[in-house]
């Protein structure tokens, strides 16, 4: 390799799913052009010296709610992807509870246009699973998967848009059939909404027990939404088996440990094509932190060891730091009535520093982090090896981290429009310092340098195959 390249990342420790090596990365035209011994990179137009840093394949966040279109006073694609870039994320998947929701081709294409003009990092979009007849068109337009809300809030409160709730199992089955025909992944938020509603009203709301402490108790008891979610999962796994759909289980960490048993059984005993994602908050949001932030986090780690076990034994396939923002004004009343406010949590910017801290504590390895937050998401959703790898020809997406850098997560440092963080005051050790998307810096030395529109739409496998 003798020609001048666009970018050389030199002197770093390159972390791959199965090991780490000292190497220089050579990047041209937005792609990985070479991985060479230290000091062997050719002349480059730009050089990033990663001495003392870890160089990871670009990390992928598969569970974001950037609230656009329809609720941009909470977040939009510019502020959301800016936060993601600050958190070391190079590709985001956005969910569907928008207004209008992307359940039709027209709504999906309008959302894609909006995002394309604003995103700082690459992005993929879920198509909304509501009408079986529109699934094929959404897949052809580039949906990364089809997202189904098999749920409704017990008090019909956003972000669970009631008309998006597929609680009729006949329609759920037909949606599974339609998604199976496309080859896409079908990602489902499971529930038995009527069970949750009845138990929650009976033991809490009807008794006037509605404050934040009562909500946390209700959550730990499995009413909001644990046991109902497991019941919904049981039905969904069976319908997935009947239809052959590629099922992706959302919110594994929100459900009681029985969900882990069901997913493991479906995978190992029945041979179903099932994957699951695990929320970092279900591992790391302590009871003390949950009490401190109250309604500003809808979940907490009431059974963390079950989550760590699911991570270790392969029941969980990827980690997420769900980003579901709402404004302070919307959430503050939750201290008195947590059942009547929009439920959410922040995570786009905090997710990776929280995991790097666990690496430093010895609970996680960098190789596992790369596998769970880059390689396996890319493989599951049909993006690998273009994303999720550092192979020659792959997109030059890099997350470069300083494992020695410490910080305290606080709202004043957050790029999200929401104006708060669910992780207020939490200390972290290990921070992303450079975020590179297709060879172009979006964050350098912790400063955002990318511009709106720099991120590109990443189509799903059905569109990519056309």
Q: What is the pLDDT of residues 246-294, one digit of tens each?
A: 999 999 999 999 999 999 999 999 999 999 999 999 999 999 999 999 9
Q: How confident is the model at residue 158 (pLDDT cuts 50, 70, 90)?
A: confident
Measured CA to CA, the distance from residue 186 to residue 381 in angstroms comes to 10
Closest among 433, 425, 430 to 405, alpha carbons compared:
430
Query: What pLDDT does 157 receive?
Result: 87
Using DSSP's 3-state secondary structure scheme, residue 465 falls into coil
C-alpha to C-alpha distance for 129 and 149, rounded to whole angstroms:
8
- CATH 3.20.20.140 for domain 57-391+460-464, yes or no, is yes
pLDDT category, 466, cuts 50, 70, 90?
Answer: low
* N-terminal to C-terminal alpha carbon distance within the chain: 34
Q: If pLDDT is split at 50, 70 and 90, which confidence band does 2 have?
A: low
Q: Which pLDDT tens digit goes with each residue over 310-347?
A: 999 999 999 999 999 999 999 999 999 999 999 999 99
Q: How many other β-carbons are positioned within 10 Å of the β-carbon of residue 344? A: 26
Higher-scoring residue by pLDDT: 432, 225:
432
- pLDDT value at 1 more than 70: no
Measured CA to CA in angstroms, residue 329 lies from 73, 325, 422, 431 at distances of: 11, 12, 15, 30
pLDDT bin (cut points 50, 70, 90) of residue 97 is very high
The predicted pLDDT at position 366 comes to: 97
The yes-or-no verdict on residue 465 having pLDDT over 80 is: no
159-176 tens-digit pLDDT: 778 899 999 999 999 999
Strand partners, 429: 406
What does the domain layout of the chain look like in residue ranges?
A: 57-391+460-464
CA dist 147 and 335 (Å) reads 31
Per-residue burial over 378-407, b = 16 or more CB atoms within 10 Å of its CB, e = otherwise:
bbbbbbbbbbbbbeeebbbbbbbbbbebee
What is the C-alpha to C-alpha distance for residues 174 and 4, in angstroms, rounded to an integer? 54
The dihedral formed by the CA atoms of 265, 266, 267 and 272, expressed in degrees to the nearest 10: 160
**Percent over 90 (pLDDT), the chain:** 95
The CA distance from 178 to 162, in Å, is: 22
Distance between CA atoms of residues 351 and 363, nearest Å = 15
Report d(CA 218, CA 323) in Å as an integer.
22
The answer to whether residues 347 and 321 touch, using CB atoms and an 8 Å cutoff, is yes
């Amino acid at each position: 390799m003798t020609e001048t390249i666009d970018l050389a990342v030199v002197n770093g420790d390159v972390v791959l799913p199965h090991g780490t090596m000292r190497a220089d990365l050579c990047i041209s035209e937005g792609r990985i052009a070479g991985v060479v011994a230290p000091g062997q990179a050719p002349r480059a137009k730009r050089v990033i010296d990663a001495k003392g840093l870890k160089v990871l394949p670009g990390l992928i966040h598969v569970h974001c709610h950037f609230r656009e279109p329809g609720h941009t006073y909470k977040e939009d694609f510019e502020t959301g992807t800016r936060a993601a870039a600050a958190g070391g994320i190079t590709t985001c998947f956005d969910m569907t509870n928008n207004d209008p929701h992307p359940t039709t081709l027209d709504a999906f294409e309008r959302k894609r246009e909006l995002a394309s003009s604003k995103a700082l990092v690459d992005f993929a979009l879920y198509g909304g699973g509501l009408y079986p007849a529109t699934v094929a068109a959404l897949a052809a337009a580039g949906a990364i998967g089809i997202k189904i809300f098999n749920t409704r809030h017990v008090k019909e409160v956003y972000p669970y848009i009631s008309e998006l709730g597929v609680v009729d199992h006949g329609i759920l089955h037909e949606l599974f059939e339609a998604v199976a025909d496309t080859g896409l992944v079908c990602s489902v938020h499971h529930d038995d909404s009527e069970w949750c509603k009845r138990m929650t009203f009976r033991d809490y709301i009807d008794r006037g027990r509605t404050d934040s402490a009562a909500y946390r108790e209700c959550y730990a008891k499995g009413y909001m939404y644990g046991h109902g979610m497991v019941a919904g999962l049981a039905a969904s796994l069976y319908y997935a088996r009947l239809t052959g759909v590629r099922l992706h289980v959302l919110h594994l960490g929100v459900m009681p440990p029985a969900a882990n048993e069901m997913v493991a059984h479906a995978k190992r005993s029945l041979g179903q094509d099932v994957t699951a994602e695990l929320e970092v908050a279900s591992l790391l949001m302590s009871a003390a932190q949950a009490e401190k932030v109250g309604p500003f986090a809808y979940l907490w780690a009431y059974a963390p060891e079950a989550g760590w076990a699911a991570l270790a034994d392969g029941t969980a396939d990827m980690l997420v730091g769900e980003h579901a923002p709402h404004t302070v004004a919307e959430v503050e009343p939750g201290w008195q009535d947590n059942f009547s406010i929009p439920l959410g949590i922040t995570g786009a910017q905090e997710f990776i520093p929280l995991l790097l801290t666990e690496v430093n504590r010895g609970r996680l390895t960098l190789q596992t982090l790369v596998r769970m937050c880059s390689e396996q998401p890319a493989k599951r959703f049909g993006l690998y090896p273009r994303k999720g790898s550092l192979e020659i020809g792959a997109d030059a997406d890099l997350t470069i981290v300083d494992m020695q850098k410490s910080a305290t997560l606080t709202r004043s440092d957050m790029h999200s429009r929401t104006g708060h963080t669910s992780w207020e005051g939490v200390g972290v050790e290990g921070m992303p310092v450079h975020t590179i998307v297709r060879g172009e810096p979006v964050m350098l030395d912790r400063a955002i340098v990318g511009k709106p529109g720099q991120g590109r739409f990443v189509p799903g496998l059905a569109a990519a195959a056309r």
